[in-house]
Amino acid sequence: MKRTSPTSRIAAIVVGTLCAFTGSHATEIEAVTGTRSYLELPIDASGEPHALPYIWERSVRGKHIVVLGTRHAFDPTSPMYPRIEKVFSRVRPQLVLHESEAPAELKSMPRDQAIKVGADLGFAVHLASKHGAATRSADAPLRDEINALLGMYSPQDVLVFLTAQRLIGNVKAPNLDSAAAEYPEFFARYLVGNGFPARVEWKTWSGFLDAYENVTGQPLSPGTWDRDLFSPIKRTGRLSDLARSTNAVRDRHLLTEIRRALRDHDRVVVVFGSWHVLALEPVLEGVLKQ
């Protein structure tokens, strides 16, 4: 699932090709050995696991870990949130690992505001503060992620993918006017600020629209928008390959952070997008044996 965008609804606080249409199948960054393919996740027709949060929990040799696969829900009334809170109350984590980056302001927000601003990330940070737990991002640094993608894909492909996923968003009916207004800052701070090439022709929304049409073969509009083009759980061409590649980078970093957390703490809760958790589930058991 998409990672938090610095210019999405959490913008105020949180800093988520032609081959697709010619039949060529691009290579992908290699996934962690033993993980479940994003094309074979046990999810329903809506793309969700059978229950939210998806809970993977183990207690071995004095170490207790719970990995929660969540949906990025901004609705405080979502039934997912009371279930998450029950886990925190029972486990009393010493450390909470989360997706994306969480600014300090989230910790002091009331419950509903934290969710409206930061969705599951906001709630995880809110609960960590409530239980006196430390927090740490388990996500790959954006600069590392961009560098890995540029090592396999063209800058134009990466531009279109990251802008579609992190700025426009994984929604059926995106607000393209809002995305257009936010794009210059997104390009300068989020992309170029993290190592993406500062191409003059891509500094403006019109430049991005040209790149989008070059990559997808069609102009961007509410009528032509198709979020499945950028989905790791679909095989729709080069951009969905790229989506699985970026998840491979992030999943590898998440596993490293879980191992590190268990070395230093006895009670750990991980809150991450459900697709990532389902993909990593087959190898999580091995983390406890190391």
The verdict on 163 and 280 lying in the same domain is: no
The verdict on 216 and 228 lying in the same domain is: yes
User: What pLDDT was estimated at residue 227?
Assistant: 95
Q: Tell me how far apart the alpha carbons of residues 253 and 231 are, in angstroms, rounded to a whole number.
A: 20
Residue 263 counted as domain residue: yes
The verdict on 129 and 152 lying in the same domain is: no
The verdict on 187 and 275 lying in the same domain is: no
The verdict on 79 and 106 lying in the same domain is: yes
Instruction: Give the range of the structural domain holding residue 52, as residue numbers without chain letter.
Output: 38-140+247-289
User: What pLDDT was estimated at residue 104?
Assistant: 84
Residue 152 counted as domain residue: yes
**pLDDT (mean) for 8-14:** 41
In this predicted model, what pLDDT tens digit does every residue of 100-129 receive, in sequence order?
A: 999 888 989 999 999 999 999 999 999 999
Q: What is the pTM of this model?
A: 0.88
Residue 288's pLDDT band, with cuts at 50, 70 and 90, is confident
Distances (CA, A) of 19 to 103, 230, 239, 240: 38, 13, 9, 11
Q: Tell me how far apart the alpha carbons of residues 280 and 21 are, in angstroms, rounded to a whole number.
A: 30
The verdict on 163 and 136 lying in the same domain is: no
Please identify, among 246, 261, 279, the residue that sits at the C-terminal boundary of a domain.
246
The verdict on 175 and 46 lying in the same domain is: no
In this predicted model, what pLDDT tens digit does every residue of 216-270 receive, in sequence order?
A: 999 999 999 999 999 999 999 999 999 999 999 999 999 999 999 999 999 999 9
Please give the tally of structural domains in the chain. 2
